[in-house]
Amino acid sequence: MLCSGAVRCQIFPSPESACRAIALEMKALVERRAAEGRMAVLGLATGRTPLPLYRELVRLHREEGLSFSNVVAFNLDEYFGLLPSHPRSYRTFMREHLFDHIDIRPENAHIPSGNLDPGDIGPHCRAYEALIEACGGIDLQILGIGRTGHIGFNEPGAGRGSRTSLVRLDHMTRTDAAGDFGGADRVPSHAITMGCGTILEARRIILMAWGAAKAGIVSEAFDNPVADEVPASYLQEHPDASVYLDKAAAADLRGHLCVEEKQHVLKD
Ligand code: PGA
């Protein structure tokens, strides 16, 4: 099930069924590392997209005993200008939806700081990168995709080699976050984000997208050649990247079958 680039696109009947498969892969990684006496290094994302994944990870922890005590997590990004305790900070998001419900050690749950003096931004970003490296690099990076084609907050033109830095958010990105902040003009104008280069160094990447609003950008990113205007398209150049979609997000992709439909075709 290949897109025209090298990225494997898997199409599921629902976000929940896709997230069950992703959570099982994460569980296998975490348990394999635990058996080796090693930490698993996860790259995590925020937004609406990963919510069913975090629900499933919390369920695996509560009902099936999956432990995150050997996990180090690095989040992709944080709004600039928000305190960690701000209700809309990504630190708060991660606590509400994942970290407060699993047994990850608080000191192992890393998120860029959005609360920095100008002179501290560069050193903070470099320290974030150095910490990822010191932990052995990211084993598995989870991504959503913005309607601009962004991964993390790397908007069109960020460049394939970009590193963790302070970036300006695209108008469309701020419009999409308007509901969370009570208006697009109240959405922070900047964020600290891992760069495309940082993200692409992860050994394995899974990008998720759900719903019709993502269908156009998914097709642009994975049916077309790699383009700087669509940062997600860089995943085509990654040796081990997969795209997990529901049917609506896959609707504009050329010539793909849903996992369930494919099983039927193979059986018939
Ligand atoms: P969303 O955002 O999950 O809220 O759609 C995705 C993204 O911007 O990466």
> Which residues are near ligand 1 (CB < 6 Å)?
47-49, 144-146
Tally of domains in the chain = 1
Instruction: Say how far apart CA 174 and CA 235 lie, in whole Å.
Output: 24
Whole-model pTM: value is 0.94
Ligand 1 atom nearest to CA at 173 = 8
Q: 144 CA distance to ligand 1 centroid (A)?
A: 5
The per-residue pLDDT for range 209-236, each reduced to its tens digit, is 999 999 999 999 999 999 999 999 999 9
Q: Is residue 268 situated within a structural domain?
A: no
Report whether pLDDT(39) > 70. yes
For 245, the token pair is: 């979609």
Instruction: Say how far apart CA 100 and CA 47 lie, in whole Å.
Output: 17
Report whether pLDDT(1) > 50. no
Q: Is residue 267 situated within a structural domain?
A: no
pLDDT for 105: 98
Q: 145 CA distance to ligand 1 centroid (A)?
A: 6
Question: In this structure, are strands 190-193 and 77-79 parallel, antiparallel, or unpaired?
Answer: antiparallel
The per-residue pLDDT for range 169-223, each reduced to its tens digit, is 999 999 999 999 999 999 999 999 999 999 999 999 999 999 999 999 999 999 9
Under DSSP, the state recorded for 176 is H
> What's the chain's length in residues?
268
Q: 153 CA distance to ligand 1 centroid (A)?
A: 9
Expressed as residue numbers, the domain containing 59 is: 2-262
Q: 10 CA distance to ligand 1 centroid (A)?
A: 19
State the CB neighbour count (10 A cutoff) for residue 267. 6
Residue 115 is part of a domain; what is its CATH number? 3.40.50.1360
Ligand 1 atom nearest to CA at 177 = 4
Alpha helix (H) ranges present in the chain?
15-35, 51-64, 90-97, 118-134, 171-176, 178-181, 196-200, 215-223, 259-267
